[in-house]
Chains A and B, each alone.
Chain A
Amino acid sequence: MRITVDMNLCESHGQCVFAAPDIFSFDDEDYLLYDAAPADALRDRAEQAAAVCPVRAITVSAGAS
Chain B
Amino acid sequence: MRRPAPRRIVVVGASLAGLRAAEALRAQGFTGTLTIVGAEPHLPYDRPPLSKQVLTAQPGPPGTALPLPAALDARWLLGRPAVSLDPTARTVALADGTLLPYDGLVLATGSAARGAPAALAGPPRGVLTLRGLDDALALRAALVPGRRLTVVGAGFLGGEVAAAARQRGLHVTLVEAAAQPLERTLGPAAGAYVGALHRAAGIDLRTRTTVTGFRAGANGHVTGVELATGDTVRADAVLLALGAAPATGWLADSGTAVDGGVHCDPYLRALRPDGSVVDGVVAAGDVARVPQPLAGGGRLALGHWTNAVEQGAAAAATLLAPGTPAPFTAVPSFWSDLHGARIRSVGLPAVADEARIVEHDLAGRRLEVAYHREGRLVGALTINRTARLAAYRTALREDGEPAQQPAPAA
Question: Measuring CB to CB, which residues of chain A are less than 8 angstroms from any residue of chain B?
Answer: 11-15, 17-18, 21, 25-28, 30, 44, 47-48, 50-52, 54, 56
Contacts and interface: CB of A to CB of B under 8 A. Distances in A.
Given A11-B337, A21-B390, A47 B408 contact: yes
15 contacts: A12-B342, A13-B335, A13-B386, A14-B344, A17-B389, A18-B346, A27-B387, A30-B384, A30-B387, A44-B408, A51-B309, A51-B313, A51-B409, A52-B306, A54-B305
B260 interface: no
Contacts of A50: 410
Interface in B18-56: 46, 48
A49 B342 CA distance: 20
Contacts of A48: 405, 408-410
Contacts, number: 63
B410 A30 contact: no
B310 interface: yes
Contacts of B390: 14, 17-18, 21, 25-26
A26 B331 CA distance: 19
A56 B386 contact: no
B230 interface: no
B385 interface: yes
Given A18-B393, A51-B309, A30 B385 contact: yes
A42 to B, nearest CB: 12
Interface in B331-387: 331, 333, 335, 337, 342, 344, 346, 384-387
A49 B409 CA distance: 10
Contacts of A54: 46, 48, 305-306, 335
B59 interface: no
Contacts of A25: 387, 390
A47 B410 contact: yes
B61 to A, nearest CB: 16
Nearest to B48: A54
B217 interface: no
A3 to B, nearest CB: 13
A17 B306 CA distance: 13
B408 A14 contact: no
Contacts of A21: 390, 394
